[in-house]
Amino acid sequence: MKYQLLTIDLSNRSHEVEEIPDDIIRKYVGGRGLGAYLLYRFVPPKADPFGEENCLIFTAGPANGTNLFYSSKANVNTKSPLTGIYLFAVSSGILTQQMRRAGYWAIVIKGMAESPTYIDIVNRTVTFKDGKAIWGLETAKAQHAMLDGRDSKKFATVGIGPAGEQRILSAALFSEGSLYRCFGRGGAGAVMGSKNLKGLVVRGDREVKAGKPDQLEALNKKIAQWLKTDFKGWADTWRRYETASDLEKTNALGILPTRNWQTGQFEGWRGIDKSTTPMGWPEKGRACGPYCPTPGCREVVVKKGPYKGARSDFEWETIYAFGSSCGVDKMEPIVAASQICDEAGVDTMTAGMTIGFAMECFEKGLITAKETDGLELRFGDDKAMIAALKKLVVEEGFGKRLAQGTKRLSEEIKGSEDFAMHAKGMELGGYECRGLNGQALQFAIDTRGGCHHGYGLPARTEVFDNTRLDVAGKGEYVKKGAITRMLRDSLIICSFGPLYTDKLMSEVLTSIFSTNFSVEDLREVGERIMCQERLFNMREGFTAKDDTLPGRLLKEPKPDGPTKGALVPLKELKQVFYKAMGYDQATGNPTDALLTRLGIEK
C-alpha cells in the first residue's frame, strides 16, 4: 500500500489501516488538502466539536520525510470548538517526518477514551497508554513524560496542557517539547482534551525516498544558491529576526493594530520591535525542525526587571496580540505572556486579543472592576494584562469569561459588538486593514475565520505594489495568493519566505512523484482545496452573510496613517472574489458546476 491512513478509535481502543487511493493524492496532494478531504468525509454535518464524532486528523505531505529544505511542517484538521466550522492548523517539527517513516500519510483519531490516555505509535504498533499520571501536566512536561526516556529527535510528540484538558476553546496542540511549536489556532487542543487524550508519540523506521532523488537534491542546491544571491537580503534579515523586525515600516504604513484596532499606528512600536527593543534581541537562532537553511527562531530570556527569568520563543502575531493590541510597549511582558500560554497550552493570539478587547470594554465603562475581580484593565497596563491572562488559563473568576474568546465575551457585553475584532469567531491576524483591501477581504472570506495564515497574507504585498485600495482585480489577487498558500500547506513546507513559487512546487512534486505536475495542474489543486474547505462550512449552513467583518472596520473611518478616513468596501470586495472563484454571488458558495469541474463530491 502506497498511501496509508491509520484510523484510531479511542472509544473501543481499536485501530485499522486503509489505503488512500492514488487519485485522491493526485487531486489533493497531501497535508492541508488531504486533511480537508478527509475531514469532510469523517466528520458528519452538525457534529458537536466535543463529541465522539469529531476527529483529529493529522496529515503529512509528499515533501515530509525527505530532506527538502523547509519541509519540517505538519497539519491537523478538525471541527473547531471556537468557531464551530472548518479548522486546519499547521505546526513545525518532526511529526510528519515520523508519520511518513511509519508509512502513514494521515492519522485520524475519533471517539473518546474512557479515562486519560495517550497513544504510542511505532511503525505498525499502536499502543493505548494510561495517561492518568500525566493528566494536568504542562505541555512540554507532558511530552517529556510520554517520551519515557526515548530520544526526542527520533520520536515525535504532540500533546496538550491543562488548558486543553479544561476544553478552553482556544487551547492549542503543542509539539517538539520545550521548543513549544504549536498547532495554534481554533482550539484543536480542546478537541484533544475532550477525547480524554493527552497526546501522541510517533516513530517510524522506513526510509522515505523521492521518485527522482537526484532532481530533488538539485532543487535543494538551487534553493541554497538563491539564498546566497537573489534572496540573500531576505535570508540575512530572516536569520536575525524572523517576523516582526519591520515595525517602523508597518507603523508608518498605518497597519499596526493598536489598542484593539482603534488605530493603526502605535507610538510605542520601538519597544516591541525585535530590532529596536531596549531589552535586546539574542544573536543565536535555531531552527524549528530539521532542513531549514534560514533558522531564525530564538528563545528569548528576560534578564532583569519584574519579568526576570521569563523565557519564550515567539513571533509577530504574539507580539501584536499582547503588544500593540493591548497598548503594551515593552517586550518583557510579551515574553512572560507567551510563556504562560505555551505552558498552559493556549493560542497566544486569541488570548491576547480577547484581553485587548476586554480593555476597551473596561475603558468605555461597559464592564467594571466588580466584574473583573478588581483588575483595572486599561490599555498599556502590562501588569493587569498578565494578571488577566493568569486567570484566563485556569478559568478563574473573570478569566472564565475571557477564556471564551472575543466573540462569546462580546455577546455578553451589550454595546461591544462593533469592536469585537473577530471574523466567524476567530480573532483577526495582526494587520489593520482599513485601507488594505486584499487583507480585509481575506479576513472576511477565509474558511477558518479571521486568521493570519489560511489564504496567504495580501498585506505583505499590496502595500508595496500600490494596490492596497484597489477593488477591481482584488478577487483574483486574493485567489492567487490563497492557492499558493494551499499548496505550501499541502506539500507541506514552511510558508514563510518568498522562495516557494508555484513553479518551484511543481518541480518538487514532479521529482517526488516521478510524474509531471504542471503549474496549471497545481493551481487547479489549490482551487479544489479552497472549494473543499468551503464545502465543509457550506454544509454547516454558512453563506455569504457569514463572510463579514467587525463593525469597526465597516463603519468607523480609519483615524490615522496614510489611508486615514478609509473603510472596508466589503460588499464590492466580496463580489469580485466570488466572481474570481466562480462562486454563486448570492450564497458565496461553490456552484454544482464548479464542484463537478473540480471533481469534488458533495
Residue ranges binding ligand SF4 (CB under 6 A): 70, 72, 92, 242, 287-288, 292, 294-297, 494, 496
Q: Kindly tell me which of 70 and 155 has the beta carbon lying closer to ligand SF4.
A: 70
**Cα 598 from Cα 409, distance rounded (Å):** 40
Measured at the CA of 253, the angle between CA 250 and CA 258, to 5 degrees, comes to: 65
**Cα 579 from Cα 581, distance rounded (Å):** 5
- Report the nearest approach of ligand SF4 to the CB of residue 498 (Å): 11
**Cα 191 from Cα 111, distance rounded (Å):** 11
- Report the nearest approach of ligand SF4 to the CB of residue 72 (Å): 6
- Report the nearest approach of ligand SF4 to the CB of residue 496 (Å): 5
| Strand arrangement of the beta sheet that strand 156-159 belongs to | 125-130, 117-122, 197-203, 156-159, 173-175, 181-183
Q: Kindly tell me which of 69 and 266 has the beta carbon lying closer to ligand SF4.
A: 69
**Cα 314 from Cα 223, distance rounded (Å):** 26
**Cα 409 from Cα 153, distance rounded (Å):** 41
The torsion angles phi and psi of 309, rounded to 5 degrees, stand at 95, -15
Go through the chain and tell me how many residues it has. 602
3-state secondary structure (DSSP) of residue 125: strand
Q: Kindly tell me which of 72 and 437 has the beta carbon lying closer to ligand SF4.
A: 72
User: Which of 359, 349, 417 is CA-nearest to residue 170?
Assistant: 349
- Report the nearest approach of ligand SF4 to the CB of residue 291 (Å): 8
3-state secondary structure (DSSP) of residue 257: coil
Q: Kindly tell me which of 40 and 70 has the beta carbon lying closer to ligand SF4.
A: 70
Residue type, 286: R
Q: Kindly tell me which of 285 and 562 has the beta carbon lying closer to ligand SF4.
A: 285
Please enumerate in sequence order all residues whose Cβ is within 8 A of that of 574, keeping only pairs 6 or more positions apart, or say none: 441, 444, 445, 544, 547, 588
Please enumerate in sequence order all residues whose Cβ is within 8 A of that of 459, keeping only pairs 6 or more positions apart, or say none: 255, 431, 433, 436, 438, 439
- Tell me which residue has cell 535570508: 235
- Report the nearest approach of ligand SF4 to the CB of residue 558 (Å): 32
Q: Kindly tell me which of 70 and 322 has the beta carbon lying closer to ligand SF4.
A: 70
- Report the nearest approach of ligand SF4 to the CB of residue 30 (Å): 17
Q: Kindly tell me which of 263 and 312 has the beta carbon lying closer to ligand SF4.
A: 312
- Report the nearest approach of ligand SF4 to the CB of residue 292 (Å): 3
Q: Kindly tell me which of 287 and 554 has the beta carbon lying closer to ligand SF4.
A: 287
**Cα 181 from Cα 590, distance rounded (Å):** 34
Query: Can you list the positions of beta strands (E) in 123-214?
Result: 125-130, 156-159, 173-175, 181-183, 197-203
**Cα 437 from Cα 442, distance rounded (Å):** 9
Q: Kindly tell me which of 68 and 436 has the beta carbon lying closer to ligand SF4.
A: 68
Q: Kindly tell me which of 72 and 312 has the beta carbon lying closer to ligand SF4.
A: 72
- Report the nearest approach of ligand SF4 to the CB of residue 419 (Å): 32
Element (H, E) at 32: helix 31-42
- Report the nearest approach of ligand SF4 to the CB of residue 430 (Å): 17
- Report the nearest approach of ligand SF4 to the CB of residue 218 (Å): 20
The torsion angles phi and psi of 104, rounded to 5 degrees, stand at -105, 135
